[in-house]
DNA sequence: CAATAAATGAGAATAAGTCCCATTTATTTT
DNA sequence: AAAATAAATGGGACTTATTCTCATTTATTG
């Protein structure tokens, strides 16, 4: 319905992942040889609850003290280690975190300075090709091996934050 | 000599800005109706000392306690307010800061995960045009007004960090 | 040059994130 | 399936970056 979900629907096998979040949390853990514990399942469920990046505070609220702060940070670290979690910082310097469920979901971020919302954005395949070419030039110029990139876009939603929930 | 300086030389009117850093610091302040004080001049000089983004720690070392920590943060805030300073966060979650001396110096960042260095990178004018077009599509799709963007590239320098000083 | 306003220094306060260790939970072995 | 072993957790102490407070100093204005 919303353009956000529409835009990102290809990132999820929705039928699978939404059916039973506990089940898919377990699958993520076992697929990566990480032991299945209650706190890990709860954190994964909280992460799955939203497709866009969330703050640590968002997560803590959802978890309602069912997971200790130290455990939350530890679990997030575990998920980063197995590459299912991406952590970055918003323009107002808040740490945000998002699940990466497939390697295919390369995307970028759109930041609203009014409401703070962060929206995942895919760019066209043609543009990504041009960007890759440009990045190859940079690799040669600076003698770098570049293994990832991201385009950040900063602005404001123009109609009463309709995109921002 | 280094490819970094060569790449960024157009960002600076070197003859002017390097001649007398104290003079140009004063000019920056008076141009923006900010009162000229010693701490502000010292911080601006420390910022001018490097063309690439620096950590707060770098600055504190250069300033050798000639400026109080609270004042340093306050001055950085002042400089952000008048839009001559850009603050962002590196992938390892360190706050970095760089002077923006002209509006013309739109650029992007290349992060080395080996040595932590951050390098300013300009992309070709043709590519920037294509990127703008792509961003306009995003504006329409999400009903956003986008006023800035940045491409972040992540990788490692391949020959013993020759680029990284 | 005096009066007023603004900026600074030093350290206390806050907040995000990490660390430690005794207890609990998962896994492996028998 | 129970015991033994290994791993994970909770809770709070600790660390570190940044902000805040306020008495003093420095700049600006009349």
d(CA A89, CA B91): 8
d(CA A39, CA A22): 11
DSSP state of B123: P
Tell me the pLDDT band of B105, cut-offs 50, 70 and 90.
confident
Specify the pLDDT at position B102.
Answer: 76
Specify the pLDDT at position B17.
Answer: 44
Asked if B152 reaches chain A (Cβ–Cβ under 8 Å), the answer is yes
* Residues contacting residue A162 through CB under 8 Å, at least 6 positions apart: B143
Instruction: Using the structure, give the distance in angstroms from the CA atom of B35 to the C1' atom of C4, rounded to a whole number.
Output: 15
Rounded alpha-carbon distances, angstroms, from residue A117 to A92, A113, B93, B102, B147: 11, 8, 20, 29, 16
Half-sphere exposure of A158 (CA within 13 A, CB side): 10
Say which of A137, A146, A159 has its CB closest to residue B154. Answer: A146
Q: What pTM was estimated for this model as a whole? A: 0.85
Among residues B18, B155, B70, the alpha carbon closest in space to that of A144 is found at: B155
Among residues B96, B70, B98, B71, the alpha carbon closest in space to that of B84 is found at: B98
From the alpha carbon of A73, which nucleotide's C1' atom is closest? Answer: C17
Question: Which regions in chain A score pLDDT beneath 70?
Answer: 1-19, 103-104, 160-165
For residue B111, give the chain A residue with the closest CA: A146
Helix (H, G, I), strand (E, B) or coil at A108: strand
Q: Is the CB of A82 under 7 A from strand D?
A: no
Instruction: Using the structure, give the distance in angstroms from the CA atom of A37 to the C1' atom of C20, rounded to a whole number.
Output: 21
d(CA A73, CA A43): 10
d(CA A131, CA A136): 9
Tell me the pLDDT band of B155, cut-offs 50, 70 and 90.
very high
d(CA B44, CA A6): 47
Structure tokens at A94: 């808040």
User: Does pLDDT of B9 surpass 70?
Assistant: no
Asked if B2 reaches chain A (Cβ–Cβ under 8 Å), the answer is no
Tell me the pLDDT band of B138, cut-offs 50, 70 and 90.
very high
* Residues contacting residue B105 through CB under 8 Å, at least 6 positions apart: B10, B11
DSSP state of B101: -
Strands B144-157 vs B108-112: parallel, antiparallel or unpaired: parallel
Tell me the pLDDT band of B160, cut-offs 50, 70 and 90.
low
Query: What digits encode the pLDDT tens for the residues B45-70?
Result: 999 999 899 999 999 999 999 999 99
Specify the pLDDT at position B69.
Answer: 97
Mean pLDDT value of segment B127-142: 97
Higher pLDDT, B2 or B106: B106
Other residues' Cβ atoms within 10 Å of the Cβ of residue B37: 13
Specify the pLDDT at position A11.
Answer: 45
Q: Phi and psi dihedrals of B128, rounded to 5? A: -60, -35
User: Does pLDDT of B127 surpass 80?
Assistant: yes
User: Does pLDDT of B6 surpass 50?
Assistant: no
**Residue % of chain B over a pLDDT of 70:** 83
Question: Which residues in A67-96 are b (16+ Cβ under 10 Å) and which e?
Answer: beeebbeebbebbeeeebbbbbbbbeebeb
Specify the pLDDT at position A101.
Answer: 87
Specify the pLDDT at position B82.
Answer: 95
Specify the pLDDT at position B21.
Answer: 84
Among residues A13, A5, A15, the alpha carbon closest in space to that of A51 is found at: A5
Specify the pLDDT at position B1.
Answer: 34
Mean pLDDT value of segment B99-104: 78
Specify the pLDDT at position A34.
Answer: 95
d(CA A56, CA A60): 6
Specify the pLDDT at position A51.
Answer: 80
Among residues A88, A21, A97, A84, the alpha carbon closest in space to that of A54 is found at: A97
User: Does pLDDT of B159 surpass 80?
Assistant: no
Specify the pLDDT at position A160.
Answer: 56
């Amino acid at each position: 319905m919303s353009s956000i979900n529409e835009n990102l629907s290809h990132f999820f096998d929705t039928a699978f992942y939404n059916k039973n979040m506990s089940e898919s949390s377990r699958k993520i853990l076992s697929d990566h040889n990480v032991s299945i514990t209650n706190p890990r399942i709860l954190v994964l469920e909280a992460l799955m609850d939203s497709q866009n990046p969330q703050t640590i505070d968002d997560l803590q609220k959802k978890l309602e003290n069912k997971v200790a702060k130290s455990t939350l940070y530890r679990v997030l670290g575990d998920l980063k280690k197995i590459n299912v979690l991406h952590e970055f910082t918003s323009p107002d310097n808040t740490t945000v975190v998002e699940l990466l469920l497939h390697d295919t979901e390369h995307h970028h971020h759109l930041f609203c300075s009014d409401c703070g919302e962060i929206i995942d954005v895919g760019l066209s395949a043609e543009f990504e090709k041009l960007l890759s070419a440009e990045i190859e030039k940079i690799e040669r110029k600076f003698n770098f091996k570049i293994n990832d990139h991201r385009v950040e876009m900063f602005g404001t939603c123009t109609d009463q934050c309709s995109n921002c929930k």
